[in-house]
Amino acid sequence: MGLENARIIVDIKSMGEAKRVEESIKMGYVDAIIENIVYWIGVEEDLAESYEKIAASASSPKERDTANKLHILSCSDADVLRKKLAEFEGFSNASKKRIKLMNGLAKVPE
């Protein structure tokens, strides 16, 4: 991908810096990815439903077969995306736990 193990954050020197990084990761990456996966699942579900309707009203066996195959593929993609969503929700929960731990400090040092 071009990064080749380049460090993005060279050194965090305080809990305050760490907390800001954790919050940035959660909001800038994890939450954004989750939101996009949720929308993508919706698109795949809409496609699957549309392909099912197209198959039901197809004018030829080839069109019906193609629409049925596309329906199955969209359902499969939605299932894969639901699994990925669960994985990213795990990242989100881990981020929440780390931020909560830092919030538990009397005063997070800068």
* Better pLDDT: 9 or 98: 98
The CATH number covering residue 90 comes to 1.10.287
- How many separate domains does the chain show? 1
| Position 83 confidence tier, pLDDT thresholds 50, 70, 90 | very high
Tokens 């919050």 correspond to 23
User: Does residue 92 fall inside a structural domain?
Assistant: yes
User: Does residue 110 fall inside a structural domain?
Assistant: no
User: Does residue 5 fall inside a structural domain?
Assistant: no
User: Does residue 88 fall inside a structural domain?
Assistant: yes
User: Does residue 107 fall inside a structural domain?
Assistant: no
pLDDT tens string 2-57: 556 677 787 888 888 899 999 999 999 999 999 999 999 999 999 999 999 999 99
Please give the angle made by the CA atoms of 28, 103 and 29, to the nearest 5 degrees: 10
How many angstroms separate the Cα of 38 from the Cα of each of 7, 65, 100?
30, 28, 25
User: Does residue 71 fall inside a structural domain?
Assistant: yes
CA distance 7 to 12: 12
Which tokens belong to 31?
């939450």
Domain with 44, as residue range(s), is 31-101
pLDDT at res. 32: 96
pLDDT at res. 6: 73
Start-to-end C-alpha separation, the chain: 34
User: Does residue 62 fall inside a structural domain?
Assistant: yes
pLDDT at res. 105: 79
Q: Look at residue 110 and tell me whether its pLDDT is greater than 60.
A: no
User: Does residue 43 fall inside a structural domain?
Assistant: yes
Region 83-104 average pLDDT: 93
pLDDT at res. 65: 98
